[in-house]
């Protein structure tokens, strides 16, 4: 509806007011009730011509789920590096209720003009929503139409009395409300109905594994008679999809803290002026503010690609539980990190089993894994190339030997051990997804390998030695990455896993040195400045992480059960004829 400006009438009343319209709990107050005496003492009468809004023929409303990714810091036990049992019980295994909110605020907006008390001030119009003519109160209800779960039809109910707009003394503005009493306004709280409803227990058979409640809004006159009404059903699912992310830094969100830190600039060890020397001597900067991580020891972030993909699902899925145990530096068995003995994927799987062992029937809808990059030694190969201590032949030999272990060609470990461990732990997993890696690390905008840049372009060799990547090294790194991705595809076909493909393709032409606006990788100086170390170097930056998240989301949608369908609003019938 449009906005109505309430101008001054011939017998206008001027009221001094603050910047807020405050309601007065009265059905039809007199001038003395709603007007400060000091400003109303010269008034002798109040004309009976109140400003009102028209009554619509029916009441549309919108019911929305209160989306919750359910991966709260409050639910995580950092001391033991795991999720709290009581939190899991409440959000995953036996949730007592699911929240939602309803919105119905189709009331006519009004602008109440103000004037300054003196010649030097300025005032803005005050906003408000006009109450419809003949309406005294608004009632919201949560209804269980069949009384199946609780035995009661009305589960929750809230009634809001409409109130006269009342100015509050305290500013240097004069409120012009025209002739007649101040208009009835709708309290802001009456526009939104926040409630929660219990999901159906396992013993109750329901269609589509969800139970429908009805949200109802009613307009009542002064006698309590329903003048207008509207309703909409909302389906509360029995359970929320469970997505668990495991693996290495590509899964944990390395390079993308939940909140960036900031380093000191201009002194010794400046992230932007002394980057190469700092990398070579393993120096970290002084920080003005530290980065914030969901789990700081493991550099685990809710801005990882897997977390962003899960959050994107909330456009359609009302509720979702996302757990991440991923750790930067993780390998299948032996990780490349200082974060402790539980850095490997097998330990993450055992941690997951301990979290759900008392609920063996609770299905893990998606087990999302990123693993293999550390097992084949990509970080060591990159370091060997940049410092010159590893030649091409040695690098290829080391990579192939590690890839043989990862593939199971050299028995006893790798991906076969991952599949075996999942079976041994009797994890109830519906879908196992494994992500491929971006491999065009040094490709330029035309998708051809190029020499390094930034910390990989070399510096004073006489003083500190070389630190660079040439075109040949860039080609070899790309070839190794392609071989790893090929093994991920081959392994997945053997064990019934699903490969999250599309990531490598999206990263083509977006290499480390493809240009500021094109690249999808984090520079060393950016990692240094944002998180106070160089661990984020060569990991996806914000743009790259979003792209990876889109591909993960695409595959998640392909394997998850469909979300409950929200129904269209139901427009209420008219108990009384419209005026």
What is the pLDDT averaged over residues 260-285? 87
Asked which of 42-56, 323-337, 359-373 is least confident by mean pLDDT, the reply is 42-56
Beta-carbon contacts of 48 under 8 Å, excluding residues fewer than 6 positions away, are 180, 181
Summarised one tens digit per residue, pLDDT across range 563-574 is 876 444 444 433
pLDDT value of residue 11:
30
Q: How far apart are CA 156 and CA 153, in angstroms?
A: 9
Q: Which of 131, 192, 130, 128 shows the shortest CA–CA distance to 158?
A: 192
pTM of the model: 0.81
Return the beta strands (E) in 45-133 as ranges.
62-65, 76-77, 82-83, 98-103, 109-112, 114-116, 126-129
Asked which of 36-40, 212-216, 453-457, 541-545 is least confident by mean pLDDT, the reply is 36-40
What is the pLDDT averaged over residues 316-345? 79
Q: Is residue 328 predicted with pLDDT exceeding 80?
A: yes
**Between 555 and 146, residue with greater pLDDT:** 555
Task: Say whether 383 sits in a helix, a strand or coil.
Answer: helix
Summarised one tens digit per residue, pLDDT across range 143-202 is 998 777 767 789 999 999 988 765 544 456 665 555 566 678 888 889 999 999 999 887
What is the pLDDT averaged over residues 316-343? 78
pLDDT value of residue 468:
81
What DSSP letter does each residue of 354-377 carry, written as one string? HHHTT-TT--BSEEEEE-STTTTT
User: If you ran DSSP here, which 8-state letter would residue 11 be given?
Assistant: T
Asked which of 56-60, 100-104, 463-467, 483-487 is least confident by mean pLDDT, the reply is 463-467
Summarised one tens digit per residue, pLDDT across range 58-69 is 677 888 888 766
What is the pLDDT averaged over residues 331-356? 78
What is the pLDDT averaged over residues 488-505? 97
**Between 309 and 447, residue with greater pLDDT:** 309
Q: Is residue 397 predicted with pLDDT exceeding 60?
A: yes
Average pLDDT, rounded, for the chain: 81
Asked which of 11-20, 109-118, 418-427 is least confident by mean pLDDT, the reply is 11-20
Q: How confident is the model at residue 3 (pLDDT cuts 50, 70, 90)?
A: very low
Q: Which domains does the chain have, with CATH numbers?
A: 3-61+104-238 (no CATH), 242-559 (3.40.50.1110)
**Between 121 and 147, residue with greater pLDDT:** 147
Beta strands 173-176; 114-116: pairing state: antiparallel
Distances (CA, A) of 379 to 157, 180, 249, 371, 386: 60, 78, 12, 14, 11
Choose from 350-364, 409-423, 474-488 the range with maximum mean pLDDT. 474-488
Beta bridge partners of 24: 164
Q: Whose structure tokens read 């980065």? A: 291
What is the pLDDT averaged over residues 347-370? 94
Q: Which of 253, 242, 245, 380 shows the shortest CA–CA distance to 304?
A: 253
Tokens coding 425: 């732990």
Q: How confident is the model at residue 466 (pLDDT cuts 50, 70, 90)?
A: low
In which element (H, E) is residue 1 found? none
| 285 CB neighbour count, 10 Å cutoff | 23
Distances (CA, A) of 287 to 219, 261, 269, 530: 58, 7, 11, 9
Distances (CA, A) of 16 to 6, 24, 126, 432, 493: 16, 16, 12, 66, 75
Q: Which of 233, 327, 265, 115 shows the shortest CA–CA distance to 569?
A: 233
Contact 423, 487 (CB under 8 A): no
Q: Is residue 72 predicted with pLDDT exceeding 50?
A: yes
Q: How far apart are CA 475 and CA 487, in angstroms?
A: 19
Summarised one tens digit per residue, pLDDT across range 499-511 is 999 999 999 999 9
Asked which of 132-136, 295-299, 400-404 is least confident by mean pLDDT, the reply is 132-136
pLDDT value of residue 108:
79
Q: Is residue 336 predicted with pLDDT exceeding 60?
A: no
Q: Is residue 552 predicted with pLDDT exceeding 80?
A: yes
What is the pLDDT averaged over residues 203-219? 86
Beta bridge partners of 112: 126
Contact 437, 502 (CB under 8 A): no
Q: Whose structure tokens read 């109905």? A: 193
pLDDT value of residue 74:
77
Contact 351, 325 (CB under 8 A): yes
Integer-rounded Cα Rg, in Å, for the chain is: 32
Q: How far apart are CA 251 and CA 263, in angstroms?
A: 25
Asked which of 33-47, 93-107, 491-505 is least confident by mean pLDDT, the reply is 33-47
Q: Helices 305-312 and 542-559 meet at what angle, rounded to 10?
A: 50
User: If you ran DSSP here, which 8-state letter would residue 327 be given?
Assistant: -
pLDDT value of residue 58:
61
Q: Is residue 92 predicted with pLDDT exceeding 80?
A: yes
Q: How far apart are CA 426 and CA 555, in angstroms?
A: 24
pLDDT value of residue 15:
33
Q: How far apart are CA 99 and CA 480, in angstroms?
A: 48
Asked which of 264-278, 281-295, 353-367, 400-414 is least confident by mean pLDDT, the reply is 264-278
Choose from 32-41, 183-192, 404-413, 498-507 the range with maximum mean pLDDT. 498-507
Summarised one tens digit per residue, pLDDT across range 101-115 is 999 887 877 776 666
Tokens coding 467: 């630190």
Tokens coding 503: 């990531």
């Amino acid at each position: 509806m449009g906005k109505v400006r309430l101008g001054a009438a011939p017998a206008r009343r001027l009221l001094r007011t603050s910047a807020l319209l405050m309601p007065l709990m009265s059905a039809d107050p007199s001038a003395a009730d709603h007007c400060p005496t000091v400003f109303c003492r010269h008034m002798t009468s109040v004309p009976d011509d109140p400003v009102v809004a028209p009554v619509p023929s029916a009441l549309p409303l919108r019911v929305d789920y209160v989306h919750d990714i359910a991966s709260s810091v409050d639910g995580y036990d950092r001391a033991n590096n795991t999720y709290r049992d009581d939190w899991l019980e409440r959000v995953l295994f036996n949730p007592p209720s699911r929240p939602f909110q309803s919105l119905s605020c189709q009331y006519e907006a009004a602008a109440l003009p103000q004037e300054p008390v003196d010649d030097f001030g300025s005032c803005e119009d005050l906003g408000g929503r006009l109450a419809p003519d003949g309406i005294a109160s608004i009632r919201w209800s949560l209804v269980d139409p069949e009384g199946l779960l609780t035995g009661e039809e009305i589960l929750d109910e809230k009634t809001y009395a409409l109130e006269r707009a009342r100015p509050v003394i305290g500013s240097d503005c004069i409120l012009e409300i025209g002739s007649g009493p101040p208009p009835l306004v709708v309290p802001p709280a009456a526009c939104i109905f926040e409630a929660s409803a219990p999901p159906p227990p396992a013993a109750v058979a329901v269609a589509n594994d969800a139970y429908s409640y009805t949200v109802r809004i009613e307009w009542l006159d002064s006698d309590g008679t329903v003048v207008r009404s509207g309703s909409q059903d909302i389906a509360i699912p029995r359970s929320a999809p469970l997505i668990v992310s495991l693996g290495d830094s590509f899964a944990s969100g390395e390079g993308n803290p939940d909140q960036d830190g900031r380093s000191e600039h201009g002194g010794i060890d400046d992230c932007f002026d002394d980057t190469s020397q700092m990398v070579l001597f393993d120096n970290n900067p002084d920080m003005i503010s530290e980065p914030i991580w969901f789990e700081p020891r493991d550099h685990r972030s809710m801005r990882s690609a897997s977390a962003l993909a899960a959050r994107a699902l909330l456009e359609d899925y009302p509720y979702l539980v996302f757990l991440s145990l991923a750790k930067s530096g993780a390998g299948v068995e032996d990780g490349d990190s200082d974060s402790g003995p539980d850095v490997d994927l097998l330990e993450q799987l055992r941690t997951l089993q301990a979290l759900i062992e008392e609920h063996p029937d609770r299905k893990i809808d998606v087990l999302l894994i990123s693993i293999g990059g550390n097992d084949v030694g990509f970080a060591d190969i990159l370091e060997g190339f940049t410092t010159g201590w590893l030649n091409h032949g040695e690098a290829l030999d080391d990579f192939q030997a590690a890839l043989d272990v990862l593939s199971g060609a050299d028995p006893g470990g790798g991906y076969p051990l991952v599949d075996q461990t999942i079976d041994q732990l009797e994890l109830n997993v519906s879908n196992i997804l494994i992500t491929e890696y971006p491999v065009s690390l040094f490709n330029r905008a035309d998708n051809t390998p190029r020499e390094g840049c930034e910390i990989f372009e070399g510096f004073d060799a006489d003083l500190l030695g070389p630190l660079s990547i040439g075109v040949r090294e860039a080609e070899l790194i790309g070839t190794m990455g392609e071989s790893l991705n090929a093994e991920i595809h081959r392994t997945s076909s053997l064990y019934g896993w699903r490969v999250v493909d599309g990531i490598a393709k999206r990263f083509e032409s977006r290499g480390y040195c493809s240009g500021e606006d094109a690249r999808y990788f984090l520079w060393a100086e950016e990692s240094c400045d944002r998180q106070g170390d160089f661990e984020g170097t060569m990991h996806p930056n914000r743009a790259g992480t979003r792209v990876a998240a889109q591909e993960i989301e695409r595959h998640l949608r392909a394997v998850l059960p469909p979300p409950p369908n929200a129904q269209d609003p139901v427009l209420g019938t008219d108990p009384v004829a419209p005026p």
